[in-house]
Structure 1
Amino acid sequence: MADRNHPQPVEYVEVEEQEFDLQEYLRRYLRYWYLFPLFVVLTLVVAFFYLQITQPIYSSTATLLIKDQKKGLGGGQADILEELAQFSGNKLVENEVEILTSQTLMGQVVKDLGLEVAYQTRDGLRTVDLYRRSPVRVEPEIITELAYEEPLVIHLVDSTHFRVNDESEPRRFGQRLRNDWGAFTVKRGDAQDLAYTDVQVHFRDPKALTEGMLERLTVQQPNVKSTVLSLTFEDPSVQRGKDVLNKLLDVYVQSSLNDKNSEASNTLKFIEDRLGLITGELSDVERGVESYKREQGLTDISAESQLFLENIQQNDAKLNEVNTQIQVLESVDNYIKNAGDGAVAPATYMINDPVLVSLLTRFNELELQRERYARTTTANNPLLETVTTQLANTRQAIRENVQNLRRGLDVTRQNLQSINTRFSAGLRSIPQKEREYVGIKRQQTIKENLYLYLLQKREETALAYASTVTDSRLIDAPVSTVQPVKPKRALIWLGAGAAGIVIPLLLINALFLLNNTVQTRDDVESMAHVSVLGEIGLMKSAKEKGGEAVIKMTSRSAVAEQFRALRTNLQYLGDGRCRTLMFTSSIGGEGKSFVSINLAASLAYSDKRVVLVGMDLRKPTLHERLEVPNDRGVTNYLIGQSSLRDLIQTTPVHPKFDVITSGPIPPNPSELLSNGRLPQLLSDLRQHYDYILIDSPPYGLVTDAALISEHVDATLYLVRFNYTLRDHLKRIGELHRSRRFANLSVVFNGVNYGAGYGYGYGYGGYGYGYYADEKESKARTLGERMKRMVS
């Protein structure tokens, strides 16, 4: 007994860190092979219905050239349109991209094409767009909120009648209707056939529709070194995609022309106003010359007076030009002060300073650009704020330039006036009449020159206004793709097939990550550091009752061979002389009774006398599995009511296989096991049996197993595949390190030798039962054998 209480230590298993095992990793997935074809079929079916339901999207593309107006023009036309020239290069293209993608232009497209009302019908699972093919046309007058949420369904009865929604009363085309959707008129559409008798009319909010269309519009610059833009619009209708691009380009061109004509119109108005004023002054001067000649009787002027007159005329022309420039500068200064309040733009043709002309041109461009952004963007838009800042800086630069030019012109005017004073002194020698005539004639010449100058500028401005052309040119008209760009059928099928493989992989990995039970023998050895004495496979056809709890030890089934192997490994326990074995586990259901019964049967078939003692006094099951009575047993012996000879029962398994059941369930099992009669029971059994197997309660639940372990040679701790928690392995390791149990070893039970392990054998669940022997397996169908191989 002393040797059994202090057994020799069992070999401590040190498991080194193993390298990645590809085969074991793949077997993890092969165990659930059926998930892959299942999910592949499922995802392909989903892809099929998705492709049937989803409307195909076609792409329409057009190419637009943004002209650089500073290049490619020559001669007088370049001078005439110089003030109207805009920026070239990337800045111009970026501005035009913003304009093309503005809500103002797209909103105008929606309004012109009447896209607020869309027509669709159902063709099986597919939705068919009836753009320009609808047999009906709805002209809304009042639209309610319900119309934006639910479609209006029109059922065609014949060529002249229709029904609305679920109404039974037919109505005539052209009749004005009023219902929950609003007020509208239904007319016959462009398509006169009745191929589609049910038409869904969708009313769309113009703002939301505009935003949605802008999301489907793409404007790109294929080459940064060019000013070519590529416009792409995606839509279920090929014709609608082309119409949207064509109308967008038309609206864009008209908007550009309106901006250009606005500047030319302001300049022409300023010149007309000046012409009206000069014409009146010239008429007054001519009448004054006529009256003076008639009153004074003048017919000719002397050569001397003519010479003075010519000199004074030249000087006066310069002085008048200076005064005109001063007036122009004043008009420029007034325009800059009042810009944005309806002030008329000054005529830049009358400004000789190129810097001022450039600044005014820049100012006008920024003013137009700010107006466009103000129409298409919000007040806090960074682009609008940037243009406003640039406008203020340009305004300040113009005012400073005007002041500098004004100071220079004042100096020039003073010099010309002093020269006129000298010429006037020379004229004092001329007779008074002739001198007065020269003065009047000089005023006439000045007014005539100014009048001719304004006439010339008016014609130039009118020519520029008449010859205003757009700064863009359509290179390629909208063209749509033959095949839809969305959904990409090949990609959908490929993605569905890939999803059918990836989803099971993710599910299997999730199962393994969430599974906290023991899966492999390596788990036992690495976490508990205890040697595995044997493995017992899983049987599929196990039952819970009767003799079927015992394996046919005469068969060549895998489980029978495993019990023979376990029987052989008993000689390696301790010093090889361990004959009293206790079976325990962490919790119930891990197979203690099953393994102990079949190991006892295997030992009996090897000509060993074996007794199986049922010491699970709380929940006995041996008598049910071996079909023996349990009216007396260990409990009776421990309380002194029966002798050992009265407790031993033979089993129908083998003549050398006896059993002592637990007997009636006592109220104090732990006290009975520690009352001192248990060692005597085991001592008496050792005299008659080669092996004593004890079926004890789970160690993790009660202390009975700890009390029994003090009197046995070795302990076989049951760990069940996919049932025992990994945390329980740590407890086994602690028991091994503390030597609480003599010669502790693990029996790995219920292993599923399916695809995960590469075998096709095993036994069933906790109920246990026969595994098919060779004759039975040969009789199975091919499908059953294949199922057995992968299960």
Structure 2
Amino acid sequence: MKDGKLNGELLDPHANEDQQFSLTEYIQRYYRYWYLFPVFVFLCLIGAFFYLQITPPIYSTKTTILIKDEKKGLGGAQGDILTELSSQFGGNKLVENEQEIIQSQTLMEQVIKELTLDVAYTAKDGLRTINLYKSSPIIIKPEVITPLGFKEPMILHVVDSTHFRFNDEDKVFTFNQRFNNAWGAFVVTKGTASEFSTVKVHFMEVKELAEAMLKRLAVEQPNIKSTVLELTYQDSNVQRSKDVLNKLLDVYVQSSLADKNSEASNTLKFIENRLGLITGELGDVEKDVESYKTNQGITDISAESQLFLENIKENDAKLNEVNTKISILESVDNYIQNAGEGAVAPATYMIDDPVLVSLLTKFNDLELQRERYARTTSPNNPLLQTINTQLAGTRQSIRENVQNLKRGMAVTKKNLEGINTRFSAGLRSIPKKEREFVGIKRQQSIKEELYLYLLQKREETALAYASTVTDSRLIDAPISTFYPVKPKKALIWLGAGFMGFAIPILLINILFLFNNTVQRREEIERATHASILGEIGQMKTEKGVPATDAIIKMTSRSAVAEQFRALRTNLQYLGDGTCRVIMFTSSIGGEGKSFISINLAASLAFSDKRVLLIGLDLRKPTLHERLGLPNKYGASNCLIGQGNYFDYIQSTGVHPKFDVLTSGPIPPNPSELLANGRLPLLIDDLKQHYDYILIDSPPYGLVTDSALIADHVDATLYIVRFNYTIMDHLKRIGELQRARRFSNLSVIFNGVKYGAGYGYGYGYGGYGYGYYSEETESSAKSLGSKFKGMIGNS
């Protein structure tokens, strides 16, 4: 590829010039379509006006709450008795977790149900649709909603204070009745007084509505070092936005309190169960004491038995405490094994081992968090899976700790039982009756102490349960913005103005991106490196005007006439200035060869030159049609040697010195006829009688006839037409120029439309030239020219 590029640069020294970018040319391309900019700016501003009229204003409502974060402070006084009691059940929270909980689908669905937001009322106010939250003249209490009800709104027309109509029905109904229709079953009641008599009722799925509302809710932490959360909700109705935030915080608080009270409730159940058992045992022991005293007649105990009694009592208390701890450890073990299956949580404050208490507290906290997230998140939520993993690890640690404690308690129990054995041996000296009484009394004392202990703990737990407070506190009540946050009018107007400029620029660039035709004189110069002998402006003719009217009045002072005079003057610069036989050709038909050759010949004739125009387009001649002359005989007759060519030359009637030799009958072999050797003889003879001989030849890009004629002329004028000649055809001119196939080759730029952005207007009148026009016109016209025609190209 590098070698190919290098060779290309060596063969074409002007290759780099084709790649040069001209800022002036780039800017000038927009001049032609200057009118698009005010049009699109106006349209965009009109669109912005209607958008602002249709779009309801959106207001932002904000509130702030304080969360007690275990990492960032307790959020209350350390000595507060309520704080100490509530800290036994639930503990503090993580701000990040609460931030996600507030934005949960479950809480928002509960808000919708409590505020009945799944039934919305709207009315038309001019171009705008407004929401009639808490101001609707009718209220609907749905019982059953059909699928149609969720898809299509139901329209109600208020007739008077007691009657209304459904949709387009003429039947009148009364308020406070139950109705059944295609939308479902519901009761319609009278609402508040309203200026609107026609109301649209929208029934919405709670789940879908919750998802939409959560997108308008933002929960942020303004300061990472604080535990304050800022809730922002955007809505077109200010009152509804305040109600949503208030209800959301209320639902959140209730959910939080329910979670916190669950542990205290489980503890109360556990204590109540234990109290029931101890009460029964204590009653049995007291009956035994009463029965034994009655049967044995015991009234007092000796000092010795009293001493043994105190020692055994103290030892039994320790032994009972050990048994109680073992029982508690067994209940802890049972709770850990059956956690999540309705097991009653043990009382952590009845355990004196700090490690086990810490593990149980952590386990309960994790269990509460798991239950809370299970209600608000999916089972595959990573946070829920993390909590389950922590629960499993904590459960294993608790079981290991319990086993270790039970082994230690077993050793202590064994030692205490040994001590009791020794004390019992000392009591053998006590009379049997007294000893038996002491044993019964001892059991009574133990049961009483345990009973009083459980009563005390039950009261403490009940007080903590009743005094449970939320872990969040409202700082600022919901406050709405005074001005709407959406749509931003200034931004909309600015954006509309910008789009009014951007759209035309985009369209014009797309137009030129797909336009592959010649647009500017500089494009011809860069692609062909040939001199441009002249420019001919656009000549407008009305549709249906005869072709002969395309001949310019050379005596006029029109711009096109002046350009032909300038072209006539420039002929003296062709070659060495003696070029008198000139051929006109082009790439394809319709580029204006006949038009330019006729009018240039007329201009030369008006400058007192004898001019002969020869039509050598032997395949599809049109010269005679443009001049309104017969074509029975002509150049084809001369080339086959039939008759004297002076017999076939006709006067055009345009000027006495302007003659024409039409093409004559169409031969079967035009190329062979041009190459039979008679053409140079014909031209040499005619040069003796005429100052200029102009030859209208076929397009070089389609047939080889022009190449045969070019060998016998002094100069060649190649016609290129604005917005018609394809850019690729310019390469052919450049190749002819470099190879010097045509002598004294120059270009005439035809069909130029002058004005703003010269070089970007287009077309060449309503008059068609048509060489092979039926076959080639569609291929010659690019998509760009068609597109430009759509936007006003004349």
Cα offset, 1:334, TM superposition = 0.7
Q: 1:585-619 CA deviation, whole Å, 9 max, x = no partner?
A: 11111111122223323333444332221112233
Tell me which moved more, 531-540 or 262-271. Answer: 531-540
How far apart, in 2, do the equivalents of 1:232 and 1:126 lie?
Answer: 25
**Kept in 1: contact 2:42–2:500 (CA 8 A):** yes
Against the structure 1 CA distance between its residues 573 and 18, is the aligned structure 2 distance closer, same or farther, given a 3 Å change threshold? farther
Q: Secondary structure at the match of 2:664?
A: coil
Q: Could you tell me which residue of structure 2 aligns to residue 127 of structure 1? A: 129
Is 2:87 the partner of 1:86?
no
State the shift of 1:108 in Å.
1.4
Is the 1:13–1:525 contact (alpha carbons within 8 Å) kept by the matching residues of 2? no
Structure 1 equivalent of residue 267 of structure 2:
267
- Structure 2 Cα separation of the partners of residues 572 and 14 of structure 1: 27
Give yes or no for contact 1:549–1:767 (8 Å, CA) kept in 2: no
The separation in 2 between residues aligned to 1:393 and 1:554, in whole angstroms, is: 109
Post-superposition CA distance 1:682-729 (Å, at most 9, x none): 111222223221111111222221221121122211111111111212
Q: Secondary structure at the match of 2:417?
A: helix
- Determine the structure 1 residue equivalent to 2:228: 228
Flag structure 2 segments of 5+ consecutive residues without an equivalent.
1-11, 770-792
Residue aligning to 2:181: 179
1:16 paired with 2:17, answer yes
Q: 1:692 to 1:13 in 2, by over 3 A?
A: farther
Match in the other structure for 2:402: 402
Structure-to-structure mapping, 1:620-631, within 5 angstroms: 620-631=621-632
Give the Å deviation of 1:472.
Answer: 1.1
In structure 1, what is the Cα distance between the partners aligned to 2:272 and 2:335? 17
Q: Comparing both chains, which one has the higher relative contact order based on Cα–Cα distances under 8 Å and sequence gaps of 6 or more?
A: 1
Alpha-carbon contact 2:520-2:759 (below 8 Å) kept = no
Task: Report the AA paired with residue 728 of structure 1.
Answer: H
Native 8 Å contact 1:590 1:766 kept in 2: no
Gaps of 5+ in 1: 1-10, 769-789
Q: Aligned pair in 2 of structure 1 residues 287, 735: CA closer, same or farther (>3 Å)?
A: same
Provide the rounded CA distance (Å) in 1 between the counterparts of 2:549 and 2:691.
Answer: 25
1:170 correspondence with 2:172: yes
SS in 1 for 2:755: coil
* Pairing 1:689–2:690 present: yes
Closer, same or farther in 2 for the Cα pair 1:513/1:741, shift >3 Å?
A: same
Q: In the TM superposition, what whole-angstrom CA distance separates every residue of 1:611-664 from its partner, at most 9, and x where no partner exists? A: 221112233333333344434321232233342322333344444333222233
CA contact (8 A) 1:580 1:712 kept: yes
Q: Which amino acid aligns with 1:484?
A: P
Q: Is the 8 A contact 2:86 2:467 kept in 1?
A: no
CA distance in 2, matches of 1:326, 1:628: 131
Bigger Cα displacement from structure 2, 157-166 vs 505-514? 157-166
8 A contact 1:13–1:531 mirrored in 2: no
> In 2, are the aligned partners of 1:590 and 1:720 still within 8 Å (CA)?
yes
Tell me the TM-score normalized by structure 1.
0.89
Give the aligned partner of residue 390 of structure 2: 390
Which residue of structure 1 aligns with residue 27 of structure 2?
A: 26
Structure 2 distance, partners of 1:302, 1:370, is 61
Query: Residues 42-73 of structure 1: CA distance to partner in whole angstroms, max 9, x if unpaired?
Result: 22222222222222222222212112474524
8 Å CA contact 2:43–2:500 kept in 1: the answer is: yes
- Structure 2: distance between partners of 1:403 and 1:626: 122
Pairing partner for 1:74 from 73, 78, 99: 78
Could you tell me which residue of structure 2 aligns to residue 53 of structure 1?
A: 54
Q: Which residue of 1 aligns with 2:579?
A: 578
- The residue identity in structure 1 corresponding to 2:344 is V
Count of residues paired in the alignment? 755
What whole-Å deviation, never above 9, does each CA across 1:3-60 have from its counterpart, x for those lacking one?
xxxxxxxx99777356532221111111111111121222222222222222222222
TM-score, normalising length from structure 2?
0.89
The whole-number CA distance in structure 2 between the counterparts of 1:729 and 1:761 is 18
226-235 or 527-536: bigger deviation: 527-536
Q: Which residue of 1 aligns with 2:755?
A: 754
- The answer to whether 1:42 aligns with 2:43 is yes
Instruction: Tell me the CA shift for residue 558 of structure 1.
Output: 4.0
In the alignment, the residues of structure 2 paired with residue 176 and residue 405 of structure 1 have an alpha-carbon distance, to the nearest angstrom, of 68
Tell me the distance in 1 between the aligned counterparts of 2:57 and 2:566. 66
Give the secondary-structure state (helix, strand or coil) at the position aligned to 1:16: helix
- 1:713 corresponds to: 714
Q: Deviations over 1:259-303 (max 9, x none)?
A: 111111110110111112112222333333444445555454455
Q: What letter is aligned with 1:206?
A: V
- State the one-letter code of the partner of 2:622: T
2:58 alignment partner AA: I
Going from structure 1 to structure 2, the CA distance change for 1:537 and 1:412 (only over 3 Å counts) comes to farther
Deviations 1:322-372 (A, max 9, x none): 221111111111111111111111111212222222222222222222222
Structure-to-structure mapping, 1:533-572, within 5 angstroms: 533-540=533-540, 545=546, 548-555=549-556, 557-572=558-573
Aligned counterparts, 1:612-691, within 5 A: 612-691=613-692
CA RMSD in angstroms comes to 2.7
Letter aligned with residue 181 of structure 1:
W
Most deviating of 513-522 and 622-631: 622-631
- State the match for 1:141 in structure 2: 143
**Code of the aligned partner of 1:152:** M
User: Which residue type is aligned with residue 704 of structure 2?
Assistant: T
Q: Identify which range, 751-760 or 718-727, moves more after superposition.
A: 751-760
Is this contact kept in 1: 2:722–2:764, CA < 8 A? no
Q: In the alignment, which residue of structure 2 is the partner of 1:490?
A: 490
Question: Partner residue of 2:724?
Answer: 723
User: 1:775 aligns to what?
Assistant: none
Spell out the pairing of 1:731-746 with structure 2 (5 A cutoff).
731-746=732-747
**Structure 1 residues 642 and 361 mapped into 2: Cα distance closer, same or farther (>3 Å)?**
farther
- Residue 252 of structure 1 is matched in structure 2 by 252
SS of equivalent to 1:640: coil
**SS in structure 1 of the partner of residue 88 of structure 2:** helix
Aligned equivalents of 2:289, 2:452: Cα separation in 1: 19
Instruction: Measure the CA separation in 2 of the matches of 1:197 and 1:14.
Output: 76
Amino acid at match of 1:624: E
* Secondary structure in 1 matching 2:200: strand
- Secondary structure (helix, strand or coil) at the match of 1:601 reads helix
Paired with 2:757 and 2:418, the residues of 1 have a C-alpha distance of: 115
Please give the alpha-carbon distance, in whole angstroms, between the structure 2 residues aligned to 1:86 and 1:660.
Answer: 113
Deviation per CA, 1:127-151: give whole Å up to 9, x if none.
1211111111122222211111112
Q: CA deviation at 1:554?
A: 4.7
Alignment correspondent of 2:455: 455
In the alignment, residue 626 of structure 1 is paired with which amino acid? Answer: L
Post-superposition shift, 1:557? 4.5
Give the 3 Å change call, closer, same or farther, for CA 423–603 of structure 1 in structure 2. Answer: farther
Distance 1:45 1:287, change over 3 A: same
How many angstroms does 1:241 deviate by? 1.3
CA distance in 2 between counterparts of 1:456 and 1:255 reads 29
Report the residue type matching 2:398 in the other structure. I
Greater shift in the superposed pair: 452-461 or 43-52: 43-52
- Where do residues 417-456 of structure 1 align in structure 2 (5 Å cutoff)? 417-456=417-456
Q: CA deviation at 1:119?
A: 1.2
- In structure 1, distance between residues paired with 2:546 and 2:447: 131
Native 8 Å contact 2:618 2:636 kept in 1: yes
Asked whether the 8 Å contact 1:585–1:717 carries over to 2, the reply is yes
Conserved 8 A contact 2:572-2:578: yes
CA contact (8 A) 1:559 1:763 kept: no
> CA, structure 1 residues 150+14, in 2 after alignment: closer, same or farther (shift >3 Å)?
closer
Q: Distance in 1 between matches of 2:150 and 2:761?
A: 63
Question: What's 1:98 paired with?
Answer: 100
Match of 2:219 in 1: 219
Query: How far apart, in 2, do the equivalents of 1:196 and 1:231 lie?
Result: 33
Note if contact 2:52-2:489 (Cα within 8 Å) is conserved in structure 1: yes
3-state SS of 2:17 partner: coil
